[in-house]
Amino acid sequence: MSDTLKRDAEYLSPALGRAFDLVAVKAEGSFIYGEDGKKYLDMTSGIAVNQVGHAHPEVVQAIADQAASCIHTSCVVHYPANIDLAEKIAQIAPGDLSNTFFCNSGAEAVDGSIKFAKRLKPGRNNFIAFKGAFHGRSLGATAFTSSKSAYRKFYDPLLTGIHHLGFPNVYNVSSQEARDKLVDHYQKVFLNYFDTAVHPETVAAVIVEPMQGEGGYIPAPGLDGTKNWLQFLRDFCDKHEILLIFDEVQSGVARTGKWFASDHYGVVPDIQLMAKGLSGGMPLGGFCSRKELMYEMPPGSHGSTFGGNPVSCRAALKLLEIIERDNVMDNVNARSEQVFSFFESKFPGADTRKPADEHNKKIKVRGLGLMLALVFEDAETVNKVKAHAYDKGVLLLGCGTYGNIIRLAPDLTVTEENLQRALDVIAEAIA
Ligand X SMILES: Cc1ncc(COP(=O)(O)O)c(C=O)c1O
3-state secondary structure 398-426: EECCCCCEEEECCCCCCCHHHHHHHHHHH
Contact call for residue 277 and ligand X (CB under 6 A): no
* Shortest distance (Å) from residue 179 CB to ligand X: 24
Strands (E), 218-321: 218-219, 243-247, 271-274, 285-289
Report which secondary-structure segment, H or E, holds 58: helix 57-69
First to last CA, the chain: 31
Report how far residue 343's alpha carbon sits from residue 320's, in angstroms, rounded to the nearest whole number.
31
Per CB under 6 A, does 249 bind ligand X? yes
d(CA 290, CA 120): 12
**How many other CB atoms sit within 10 Å of the CB of residue 327?**
10
Q: Among the candidate windows 115-123, 167-175, 244-252, 305-313, which touches ligand X by CB under 6 A?
A: 244-252
- From the list 131-139, 183-191, 224-232, 332-340, the region that binds ligand X by CB under 6 A is 131-139
> To the nearest whole angstrom, how small is the minimum distance from the Cβ of residue 94 to ligand X?
16
Determine if 247 is a binding residue for ligand X (CB under 6 A). Answer: yes
CB of 79 to ligand X, least distance (A): 23
Q: What's the number of CA atoms in the CB half-sphere (13 Å) around residue 93?
A: 28
243 binds ligand X (CB under 6 A): no
User: How far is 101 from 109, CA to CA, in rounded Å?
Assistant: 8
Distances (CA, A) of 306 to 19, 67, 102, 209, 285: 28, 14, 9, 26, 11
Q: Please tell me the count of residues contacting ligand X according to CB under 6 A.
A: 14
Q: Which is nearer to ligand X, 134 or 343 (CB)?
A: 134
C-alpha span between 209 and 220 (Å, rounded) = 8
- 272 or 360, CB closer to ligand X? 272
Residues numbered 132-171 forming contacts with ligand X, rule: CB under 6 A: 134-136
**Stretch touching ligand X by CB under 6 A, among 59-67, 243-251, 370-378, 393-401:** 243-251
CB-closest chain residue to ligand X: 106
Residue closer to ligand X (CB basis): 126 or 147: 147
- The H or E element spanning position 272 is strand 271-274
Residue 152: name the closest of 136, 129, 169 by CA: 136
What whole-number distance in Å separates Cα of residue 404 and Cα of residue 383? 9
Q: Give the shortest CB-12-to-ligand X separation in angstroms.
A: 17
Asked whether position 422 contacts ligand X by CB under 6 A, the answer is no
Please choose, out of 25-33, 129-137, 180-188, 329-337, the segment that lies near ligand X by the rule CB under 6 A: 129-137
Using the rule CB under 6 A, which residue among 34, 94, 106, 277 binds ligand X? 106
E strands, 60-159, are 99-103, 126-130
Dihedral (CA of 281, 285, 290, 294) sign: negative
- Provide, rounded to whole angstroms, the least separation between the CB of residue 90 and ligand X: 21
Choice between 368 and 425, CB closer to ligand X: 368
Neighbours of 257 (CB within 10 A): 23
Give min distance, CB of 331 to ligand X, in A. Answer: 22
107 binds ligand X (CB under 6 A): yes
Residue 117 and residue 124: Cα distance in Å, rounded?
A: 9
Q: Closer CB to ligand X, residue 30 or residue 105?
A: 105
The only residue of 86, 233, 245, 275 in contact with ligand X, by rule CB under 6 A: 275
Q: Which is nearer to ligand X, 174 or 279 (CB)?
A: 279
Q: Which is nearer to ligand X, 213 or 257 (CB)?
A: 213
| Interface mask toward ligand X for 205-234; x: CB under 6 A | ----x---xx--------------------
Which is closer to ligand X, CB of 275 or CB of 373?
Answer: 275
Could you give the CA distance from residue 31 to residue 42 in angstroms, rounded to a whole number? 5
Please report whether residue 105 would count as binding ligand X according to CB under 6 A: yes
Smallest gap from Cβ 399 to ligand X, in A, equals 9
Q: Closer CB to ligand X, residue 138 or residue 383?
A: 138
Binding span for ligand X by CB under 6 A among 106-114, 307-315, 340-348, 394-402: 106-114
Q: Which of 148, 126, 128, 129 is nearest to 137 (CA)?
A: 148
Q: How many angstroms separate the CA atoms of 419 and 44, rounded?
A: 12
119: Cβ–Cβ under 8 A, 6 or more apart, which residues?
A: 296, 297, 301
d(CA 68, CA 62): 10
Closest CB 367 distance from ligand X, rounded Å: 14
Site pattern 52..71 for ligand X (x: CB under 6 A) = --------------------
Contacts with ligand X, residue ranges (CB under 6 A): 105-107, 110, 134-136, 209, 213-214, 247, 249-250, 275
